[in-house]
């Protein structure tokens, strides 16, 4: 080999060595970035961990807080609000009734016709519309004028003949926010939740506002009851099955109500002497306990929300928030690593990732996770490899699993408070006769998160069995109530007339 050829060969070796070195360097760097992301995932998993022991602590804390909230006004973060609902519909109701439901994301209007027997429940018209976002921070006048206008349009579509006798239409107003009631048909707004921000409305009578707006439009409608959505769901549950004594909503927000003995509502003793029980609206979204597994993402979400230091439980389990927790994790990962490409500015937009997208990604069963790719692309994150898409699915899983399991702990807490969790003060060695005394308990459940997100539902139901044990779980029936809060509220109004 000549000198030139030797030099050329040596240079070639050098070049290929340095190319290899660069590639190795890149691989090491990319492995380090991947390791950083895996570390974030690991930390998230640990922080969200909900072993059954921890869930039981949450169960106990929920039961304790319920007692405290019933004992005195302001005795707990759980408001345990009186609803003045002493009797639930039993199937004998007759007539035509309406419900107008202002939820967190949608409003619904419907009409039911009842024939006096349980099987004669005819839900005639159901209208469901997204709440226009400008209403959420408008004024009470704008909001209620809009609701009255929507009601007017609904009635116009009925035609003249449906109200030919000229009697007033009886309406239930299902209002999915915390209200301090003074009767079943009146109560003032305590605070807004779920991103609503009409501050001058706080302290005003909600039913009066709606009635006023409808009177101004000349509508022949009487607001006969003001009903929390959980109470509506309970009413429908009870109508079909009188073992239904608890109702929970997992939607944009979350809450529970249940039938309580009036003598246990210590804070209102004088007021409640006439009847044996009353439905209590827990407003469990505001529940808090040091046993709740909180992450730095929850802390940031809370601090940047429209209601900081409020609704801590809701912010871990409800539909409005799950998407935003997932978004925050992805954003954090994309800031420490380029596995998501350059950090998309959209990842910094609060609530841009909705929980229905989280469920679509979580339940994506296409081999290449195309749904995940599509949703990430909508967030400005394109062309990520399959292993990154799998990572995103894992994040959805961790956040939703925690939510489902905590939701189950909440339900078990209520069961514990009312003595339906099988413990009855006896933690082990239950005899057959004790088991026979265990009563069947139906928990009515409503809300888009529960209805549409299978993994959330499965995690919740699985954890409930884990907490209660196989034996006791057989006595606890969780029943889905489609549109229960609206239909049930109309039934409640019907029961007031009969």
Residue nearest to ligand BGC (CB): 253
Per CB under 6 A, which of residues 181..220 are in contact with ligand BGC? 193-194
For residue 443, which of 283, 267, 296, 247 has the smallest C-alpha distance? Answer: 247
End-to-end CA distance of the chain, in Å? Answer: 110
Separation CA 494–CA 254 (nearest Å): 26
User: Which CB sits closer to ligand BGC, 316 or 398?
Assistant: 316
| Cβ neighbours for 145, distance < 8 A, ≥ 6 positions apart | 213, 216
Q: How far is the CB of 484 from ligand BGC (least distance, A)?
A: 12
Contacts (CB under 6 A) with ligand BGC, residues 297-316: 314
Residue choice 69, 89, 178, 448 for contact with ligand BGC (CB under 6 A)? 178
Q: Which is nearer to ligand BGC, 229 or 461 (CB)?
A: 229
Is the CB of residue 37 less than 8 Å from the CB of residue 384?
no
> Minimum distance from CB of 289 to ligand BGC (Å)?
18
Closer by beta carbon to ligand BGC, 194 or else 328 = 194
- Pick from 96, 174, 185, 228: which binds ligand BGC (CB under 6 A)? 228
Say what the alpha-carbon torsion angle 8, 9, 10, 12 is, to the nearest 10 degrees. Answer: 90
Across the strands, what pairs with 174? 101, 227
Question: Would you call 4 helix, strand, or coil by DSSP?
Answer: helix
With binding defined as CB under 6 A, does residue 446 bind ligand BGC? no
List, edge to edge, every strand of the sheet that includes 81-82. 81-82, 277-281, 254-261, 244-250, 441-446, 476-480
Site for ligand BGC contains 255 (CB under 6 A): yes
Query: Using the rule CB under 6 A, which residue among 98, 177, 313, 340 binds ligand BGC?
Result: 177
* Minimum distance from residue 174 beta carbon to ligand BGC (Å): 9
Q: Contact letters (x/-) for ligand BGC, 468-487, by CB under 6 A?
A: --------------------
Could you give the count of Cα atoms lying within 13 Å of 457 in the half-sphere of its Cβ? 17
* Minimum distance of ligand BGC from residue 131's CB (angstroms): 12
Least separation in angstroms between CB 255 and ligand BGC: 3
- Backbone φ, ψ for residue 294 (5° rounding): -105, 140
* Cα angle 244, 262, 253; round to 5: 50
Told to check if 253 binds ligand BGC by CB under 6 A, we report yes
Which of 232, 251, 410, 422 lies at the binding interface for ligand BGC (CB under 6 A)? 251
Q: Is 413 in the site for ligand BGC (CB under 6 A)?
A: no
Alpha helices per DSSP H over 319-368: 319-336, 355-362
Give 343 or 485: the residue with its C-beta nearer to ligand BGC. Answer: 485
d(CA 457, CA 285): 18
When the beta carbons of 251 and 404 are compared against ligand BGC, the nearer one is 251
Residue 489 is a binding residue for ligand BGC (CB under 6 A): no
**To the nearest whole angstrom, how small is the minimum distance from the Cβ of residue 286 to ligand BGC?**
8
List Cβ neighbours of 471 (8 Å cut-off, separation of 6 or more): 422, 430, 435
The strand pairing partners of 277, in sequence order, are 261
Give residues in contact with ligand BGC (CB under 6 A).
103-104, 176-178, 193-194, 228-230, 249, 251, 253-255, 283, 285, 314
């Amino acid at each position: 080999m000549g000198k030139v050829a030797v030099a050329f060969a040596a240079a070639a070796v050098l070049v290929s060595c340095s190319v290899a070195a660069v590639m190795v360097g890149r691989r090491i760097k990319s492995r380090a970035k991947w390791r950083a992301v895996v570390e974030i995932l690991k930390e998230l998993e640990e922080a969200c961990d909900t072993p059954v022991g921890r869930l039981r602590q949450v169960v106990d804390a929920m039961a304790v807080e319920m007692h405290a909230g019933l004992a005195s006004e302001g005795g707990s973060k759980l408001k345990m609000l009186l609803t003045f609902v002493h009797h639930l519909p039993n199937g004998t109701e007759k007539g035509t009734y309406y419900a107008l439901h202002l939820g967190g994301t949608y409003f619904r209007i419907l009409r039911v016709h009842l024939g006096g027997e349980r099987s004669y429940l005819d839900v005639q018209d159901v209208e469901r519309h997204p709440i226009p976002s400008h209403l959420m921070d408008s004024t009470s006048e704008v909001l209620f004028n809009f609701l009255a206008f929507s009601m007017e349009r609904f009635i116009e579509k009925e035609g003249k003949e449906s109200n030919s006798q000229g009697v007033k239409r009886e309406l239930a107003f299902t209002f999915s926010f915390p209200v301090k009631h003074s009767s079943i048909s009146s109560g003032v707004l305590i605070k807004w939740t779920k991103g609503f921000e009409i501050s001058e409305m706080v302290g005003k009578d909600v039913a009066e506002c709606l009635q006023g707006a409808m009177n101004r439009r000349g509508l022949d409608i009487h607001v006969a009851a003001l009903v929390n959505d959980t109470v509506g769901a309970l009413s429908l549950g009870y109508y079909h099955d009188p073992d239904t004594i608890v109702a929970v909503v997992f939607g944009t927000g979350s809450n529970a109500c249940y039938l309580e003995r009036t003598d246990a509502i210590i804070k209102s003793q004088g007021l409640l002497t006439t009847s044996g029980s009353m439905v209590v609206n827990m407003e469990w979204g505001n529940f808090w306990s040091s046993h709740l597994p909180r992450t730095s993402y929850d802390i940031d979400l809370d601090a940047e929300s429209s209601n900081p230091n409020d609704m801590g439980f809701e912010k871990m389990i409800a539909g409005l928030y799950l998407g935003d927790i997932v978004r925050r994790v992805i954003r954090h990962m994309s800031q420490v690593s380029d596995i998501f490409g350059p950090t998309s500015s959209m990842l910094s937009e609060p609530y841009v990732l909705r929980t229905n997208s989280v469920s679509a990604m979580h339940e994506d069963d296409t081999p290449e996770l195309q749904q995940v790719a599509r949703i990430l692309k909508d967030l400005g994150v394109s062309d990520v490899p399959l292993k990154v898409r799998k990572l995103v699915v894992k994040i959805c899983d961790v956040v939703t699993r925690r939510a489902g399991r905590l939701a189950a702990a909440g339900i078990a807490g209520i069961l514990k408070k009312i003595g339906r969790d099988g413990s009855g003060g006896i933690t082990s060695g239950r005899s057959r006769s004790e088991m026979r005394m265990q009563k069947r308990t139906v928990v009515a459940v409503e809300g888009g998160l529960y209805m549409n997100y299978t993994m959330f539902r499965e995690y919740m139901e699985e954890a409930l069995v884990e907490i209660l044990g196989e034996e006791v779980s057989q006595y606890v029936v969780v029943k889905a109530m489609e549109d229960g809060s609206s239909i049930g509220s109309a039934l409640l109004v019907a029961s007031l007339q009969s």
